[in-house]
Structure 1
């Protein structure tokens, strides 16, 4: 099958992926300039992925169009590493984000979240004071709580809340602040403060809400990674065909009369160059 597959297919696929890397790099640069949301924390992965795709696609495009065996060899090695990395990253994402979900609050549409419902790795990340200070600052700059600052008790009964709003912008629904309480309350009830800069940003429920937001986003990315992984495997298979075609043509030019040691070979520098430009 590879013998009849034109290198034009390889060149075209890599040209598409090369063009696709441009908006990825642009999104990473835009997030680097944006300090108003938490999305700027994704700039490094986006920039790395974008530049890797750009370089790999460029090498694959040149190797396919010019029948350069060494370029296609480098392309296949890097693609194999990318496939292994994507498989590990995707599997890790599914394992880490598998547990989760909120607990329904009777009489309300929103849910509340607890750290115990998430993986040990995610809990360890948000419990790190240095890591949480960064997240806390990011959540405050996003002004998520300002959107519900004017809500009435009726609004809380009929409207839904995001995980961040549920965990960081209000105390747990079970908290009681009027009169004497006979039983111990949730520790988050004592961490709550009405000050707009404090609220429940240091509560475990806020940390759980941040994990839930990240878990949902990460789960979607993991689903997208499955599609990307399938495309990478397809690109790798087609690249193997292009590598075989290039090596076969290289042998044909260097050994036009077969690999007979009595017949001198034609060195690569003396090959015809008119067959390179059409990727076929």
Structure 2
């Protein structure tokens, strides 16, 4: 049981060390790709992969070879990682708490309004450079091509993804059949039935992107909560491994076993007994 924590930490870090290799490989592979969507994920993947690699290597060396300073670095970085992940999770729940879409009467799908989402998310998609990147991704995904064969009945009976609802059609409230004096949504004037235009510059399309982000980020936040609990458990075991390594270096600096540590005690008591006997005899 004395080395159990070291064994567990060493095994877990060996697994994460191996797991970091395909993550780094994916980031390097994306660097060679010309697809904008894949290049967009390159930097986060490389950063995550290298952090996992360095932390796992330090934990593995420290736990398996009783290197106390390596375990200290491992625990320090792990503490920073837990704090960062916890802060990111709280931030994710805050920024994804709004939105969700509005049900359209007589339709299965929902429509999404940009003003329903958090200011931080709205600011991201309203940046022209950032939106140009996302627009290229949407065009490359051929999301709207799936709706090209739909009949008017399909629009009444079938559901749509947030991207399809916001980017591939004008808002349902738009009235193009007759002249009207009532003010319409600005997206009604941004719509164009050309396949490469559609409603890609509409606020509803940006809202559809944010709804996808909101859903994915909410799932990720729930997963992050599980990861934080898991990392806290690993951190606790790592503290035990660090204490074991420090104790091993202090008690057995030259690798002596525990029995050799006990021998000087018996020698001390034997010399003390002999000294008392000599004083009694003389």
Q: TM-score, normalised by structure 2?
A: 0.85
Aligned to 1:266: none
Indicate the residue corresponding to 1:126 in structure 2: 125
Which has a greater percent of helix? 2
Question: Please, what is the CA RMSD of the aligned residues?
Answer: 2.0
Query: Which residue does the alignment assign to 2:180?
Result: 181
Give the length in aligned residue pairs.
Answer: 257
The 1:243/1:32 distance shift into structure 2, 3 A limit, reads: same
Contact 1:36 1:142 in 2 (8 A): no
| Structure 2, gaps ≥5 residues long | 258-282
| Equivalence for 1:58 | 57
What residue is the counterpart of 2:107 in the other structure? 108
For 1:93, the equivalent position in structure 2 comes to: 92
Q: Distance in 1 between matches of 2:168 and 2:36?
A: 17
Following the alignment from structure 1 to structure 2, what is the Cα–Cα distance between the partners of residues 68 and 217? 40
Q: Which runs of 5+ in 1 are unaligned?
A: 255-270, 275-280
Q: 1: CA distance between counterparts of 2:32 and 2:159?
A: 31
Higher relative contact order (CA closer than 8 Å, sequence separation 6+): 1
**CA displacement at 1:19 relative to structure 2:** 2.3
Tell me which residue corresponds to 2:267: none
Question: What are the superposed Cα offsets for residues 135-163 of structure 1, whole Å, 9 maximum, x if unpaired?
Answer: 11111111111111121111111111110
> What secondary structure is seen at the aligned counterpart in 2 of 1:147?
helix
How far does residue 85 in structure 1 lie from its aligned partner after superposition? 0.9
> Which residue of structure 1 lines up, in the alignment, with residue 221 of structure 2?
222
What secondary structure does 1:70 align onto? helix
Question: Cα distance 1:28–1:244, how it changes in 2: closer, same or farther (>3 A)?
Answer: same
- What is aligned with 1:243? 242
Larger Rg: 2
SS in 2 for 1:211: helix
Match of residue 134 from structure 2: 135
Given that 1:96 and 1:119 are in contact with CA atoms closer than 8 Å, whether structure 2 keeps it comes out as: yes
SS at match of 1:201: coil
